[in-house]
Amino acid sequence: MGNSRIWTAALIVIGDEILSGRTEDRNIAQVARWLNRQGIRLLEVRVVPDQEQAIASAVNTLRSLHDYVITTGGIGPTHDDITVDSIAAAFDVPVVVHPEARRVLEDYYRDRPLGLTEARLRMARVPQGAELIPNPTSGAPGVKMGNVYILAGVPNIAAAMLEALDGKLEGGRPMVSVTVRAHTAESDVAALLKQVQDEHPGVSIGSYPFYRQGNFGADFVVRSDEEELANACANELRRRLADAHIEVADEA
């Protein structure tokens, strides 16, 4: 307890559409929450353009720093989908057609107009040595290459691939978060927050102010990978806020 190994991950979001502001990313939050459920800490995210060199360089830096790297985006059938080629370049292996992926796509497109075209067959291409990640939603599978998990960019397809990976990655204990919401300016309680955090080693307290519909306040998020510690610290924080005559919301 307390000294168990910490498993870490990085996420690479691939796509010009995110960097141009055309598309608002939905994958960072869902990958972050999924990783937490697996007991894996997301320590860095990079958003990179559809350029082989940028993708390969991010993959090679991050796969040596973390237990896992997840990528989203760029695995479709069109010319701008270059994730597989870029990751093959990163691993210095050729791109091959994966026979099982070809079979999955043959089945998927059998009864559709045009069938398995050359463009669609692109989605069966993987870096040599890779395994597949099932895609229960649409035909094209995800790809696992070493410790790199290559997922679709469309958020509901990425979600289905994450679900298929549920429980399959080794991890440690999930972080437990307890949120204490108070109707106060965070600057009014800054000293109190730091004090409570310092008194609880192994716990961190984040302070997130909000302004909504004329209402303002802050969420104090108490985090630890030991549930008892998180709860004890949150209770102490509630007590101190009450002592300071600061209203704590019942439910955050």
Q: Which of 164, 177, 236, 240 binds a second copy (CB under 8 A)?
A: 177
Q: What are phi and psi of 84, to 5 degrees?
A: -60, -45
What is residue 149's three-state secondary structure? strand
Print burial letters for 198-233: b (CB count within 10 Å at least 16), e (below 16).
Answer: eebeebebebeeeeeeeeebbbbbbbbbeeebbebb
| Contact indicator for 153, 78 with CB cutoff of 8 Å | no
DSSP β-ladder status, 7-14 and 142-145: unpaired
Environment class of 101 (CB within 10 Å of its CB; exposed 0-12, middle 13-18, buried 19+): buried
List the 176-182 sheet strands across, edge first: 176-182, 215-224, 204-212
Which range binds a second copy by CB under 8 A, 12-20, 93-101, 162-170, 227-235? 12-20
Asked if residue 22 binds a second copy (CB under 8 A), the reply is: yes
| Under rule CB under 8 A, residue 197 binds a second copy | yes
Which of positions 74-93 make contact with a second copy (CB under 8 A)? 76-81
| 194 scored as a contact of a second copy (CB under 8 A) | yes
User: Rule CB under 8 A: is residue 29 a binding residue for a second copy?
Assistant: yes
In the complex, least distance from residue 73 CB atom to a second copy, rounded to whole angstroms: 10
Contact predicate 82/89, CB 8 Å: no
- Nearest approach, Cβ of 207 to a second copy (angstroms)? 4
Among 33, 103, 168, 239, binds a second copy (CB under 8 A): 33
Nearer to a second copy, 93 or 139 (CB): 139
Q: Site for a second copy (CB under 8 A): which residue of 36, 60, 147, 231?
A: 36
Stretch that binds a second copy, among 10-18, 125-133, 141-149, 163-171 (CB under 8 A): 10-18
Q: Is 202 in the site for a second copy (CB under 8 A)?
A: no
Asked if 206 interacts with a second copy (CB under 8 A), we say yes
* 172 in contact with a second copy (CB under 8 A): no
Span from 33-41, 158-166, 224-232, 243-251 in contact with a second copy (CB under 8 A): 33-41
Contact window for a second copy (CB under 8 A) among 82-90, 93-101, 164-172, 182-190:
182-190
Among 92, 118, 250, 251, binds a second copy (CB under 8 A): 118
Report the residue number, 5 or 194, with the smaller CB distance to a second copy: 194
The CA distance from 29 to 31, in Å, is 6
> How do beta strands 40-48 and 7-14 pair?
parallel
Q: How far is CA 47 from CA 55, 66, 181, in A?
A: 9, 17, 32
